[in-house]
Amino acid sequence: MIQIEGVTALVTGGNRGIGRAFVEELIAQGANRVYAAARNPDDVDAELRELGAVPVRLDVTDPEQVREAAWNCADVSLLINNAGLFAGQRLIKAEDPDAARAEMEVNYFGVLAMTREFAPVLAANGGGAIANVLSVAGMVPAPFMGGYSPSKAAALWLSTITRAELEPQGTSVTALIVGSVDTRMASHVDGRKEDPRDIARAGLKAVKRGEHVADTDWMAIDARARVARDPSGYERQMARMLHVPTLRTGR
């Protein structure tokens, strides 16, 4: 269990979208310090800085930058692995065959690298917590999301294994299952989209409770229910979305 008031947190991809919302919500809930990590620290704009966000240069696929972040942010007790990549490519019939590898590098190996480097930091600060921002597409296969869906599924299992490995040091690990959110990543999506701040509030609530896996919004809850009712039917629906772009939804 961890309290947000007084916490020191680091959010990857903290300059926009859900990551920015987490930074804003952490500050609003009384966090002591919030590091907003971005590949280019200049992307952490003046508004966030005025709120108190501390910019950090961090590309989660760069081992040296990950090590530097862990060294320079040694007071972190809450790590939010939010940085993500959606390449918008098919998996088998991809125009760019390297797209799936890039998605795996950010969405899985990036989370793994951050967790490895920050685990000792969290231990030194009393255990703390990790929140991995994942996706409905990682809970169930989403054929229309190419390599993104497998990468988020890998990060979901990573979360479970991390929880087991870090249990002795008192680190909680929460996997956040996110549906369709009003961000740049989901700009191609039609239909209902959640406010990123609502996702951040739900995510922090789950972290405070020490939940293992938490659905952050209506789409995540509905998808889980539909899969439970009719797994084959849900899979067929996902496959149809591959060929009907206007039906596509998901983070």
Residue 3 within a domain:
no
Taking each helix axis from N to C end, the angle separating 218-229 and 231-241, rounded to the nearest 10 degrees, works out to 120
Q: Could you tell me if 44 and 77 are in contact, meaning their C-beta atoms sit under 8 angstroms apart?
A: no
- DSSP single-letter state for residue 168: G
CATH of the domain at 33: 3.40.50.720
Domain count, the chain: 1
Burial class (CB in 10 A: 0-12, 13-18, 19+), 235: middle
Longest Cα–Cα distance of the chain, Å, equals 50
Which structural domain range is residue 46 located in? 8-247
Residue 2 within a domain:
no
Residue 33 within a domain:
yes
Burial class (CB in 10 A: 0-12, 13-18, 19+), 76: buried
Does the pTM surpass 0.85? The reply is yes
The pLDDT, as a whole number, for residue 101 is: 98
What tens-digit pLDDT sequence spans the chain (251 residues)?
A: 799 999 999 999 999 999 999 999 999 999 999 999 999 999 999 999 999 999 999 999 999 999 999 999 999 999 999 999 999 999 999 999 999 999 999 999 999 999 999 999 999 999 999 999 999 999 988 888 899 999 999 999 999 999 999 999 999 999 999 988 766 565 455 556 678 999 999 999 999 999 999 999 999 999 999 999 999 998 888 888 887 655 444 44
- Contacts of 83 by beta carbon, 8 Å cutoff, 6+ apart: 12, 13, 19, 37, 60, 106, 110
